[in-house]
Amino acid sequence: MKNISKLLVGFSFALPVLFLLLSKTGTADTMDKMKASENAEIATLAGGCFWCTESDLEQLTGVVDVVSGYSGGHVENPTYRQVSSGKSGHIEVIEVKYDPKVVSYEQVLDYFFRHIDPTDDKGSFVDRGPQYRPAIFYHNAEQKQIAEQFIMEIDKAMIYPKPLKTELIEFEKFYPAEEYHQDYYKKSSLKYKYYRYASGRDKYLDEVFGDDRKETPKTLRQLIEEKKLLSKVKEYSKPAKSEIKSNLTELQYYVTQEEGTERPFDNEYWDNKEAGIYVDIVTGEPLFSSTDKYKSGTGWPSFTKPINPGYIVEKTDYKLIYPRTEVRSKFGDSHLGHVFKDGPKPTGLRYCMNSAAMKFVPVSEMKTQGYEEYLYLFDK
């Protein structure tokens, strides 16, 4: 009994202290959110059904709050029935409050575009009519300029199957939608999931960005930059088979021409920390940079991305029980290694390469060996 009494007394003292600590933590979190909300900027966006766009944009880091509503029409304080009739002039929109210190306006647009169909000005998926068309309501000249430039770059890169038809409209007023529409994906989860699936939104997005877009997402900015790199690809010549055999060591030939694999922790570059680039041992194609190399613990040189995806070809390899993605050089057709989806951010990829398939060119020799254009990688 004495022991139990002591425990109860101790607990009675500990409980207020614990409560105080938790309340302080909760207060700090609330204060942080309030501070972020005070400094927040606003993006007003239309991408079809606001149940979906609200749900998606709330997942973006740096977004403080998302409210569903209506903008662009002539009716004051419109109801959902008025807007959905298509006669009010309003469009279903979301008001996105975001912290510009965490996420930029372009990044908000980037995320927004990757969750809608910006090419359909007649509606959005199953919802048809001008009240569901895609639009960006710009709040100032800077937002308008950023949106215009970004749309132009997306179109030039031809990321979507059709040109963008997202309207830019000067913002005037935002009317919040009825309360039952706010956070609909939380309040009516089953109905929301059924609607979203039946709408065809995710099916379309999977077709455009791949069905692994959630696991290994790429921003539109990344895709734009990749397209720019692809336009800079230079042609390299593959030597005759006899020349390749005479120029390579037995191991290099086995790896590149016979799709072999060298031993882990017993190869030239697995632990190389020198700054420079790695090129195809056969043709000299620029493949990887030391700026993207990391210690994977596998015993092979590992990278998060290639210098230019235009010099890389990926194929499905069925040599083991399970399929793997083989990586080969574009012009030399050399077997380089494999790529796996267990790498670090920002790509989430691990390009696991064979040292024997590559030649290392240190920064000090890049200019003399013809790789001067890649010196910018080491300016940081």
Distances in Å between the alpha carbon of 220 and those of 160, 187, 373? 10, 31, 24
Q: How far apart are CA 323 and CA 281, in angstroms?
A: 26
Please tell me which residue in 49, 147, 336, 358 is annotated as part of the active site: 49
Which residues does 61 contact at the CB level (< 8 Å), separation at least 6? 102, 103
* Residue 374 identity: Y
Query: 274 with 255: CB under 8 angstroms?
Result: no
Q: How far apart are CA 213 and CA 203, in angstroms?
A: 11
Query: What does the buried/exposed string (b/e) look like for 1-36 if buried means 16 or more CB atoms within 10 Å of the residue's CB?
Result: eeeeeeeeeeeeeeeeeeeeeeeeeeeeeeeeeeeb
Which residues does 302 contact at the CB level (< 8 Å), separation at least 6? 293, 294, 295, 296, 343, 350, 351, 352, 353
Q: How far apart are CA 172 and CA 120, in angstroms?
A: 23
Q: How far apart are CA 302 and CA 293, in angstroms?
A: 6
Q: How far apart are CA 361 and CA 325, in angstroms?
A: 26
Q: Is 49 a catalytic residue?
A: yes
Please tell me which residue in 352, 357, 361, 366 is annotated as part of the active site: 352
Catalytic residues: 49, 352
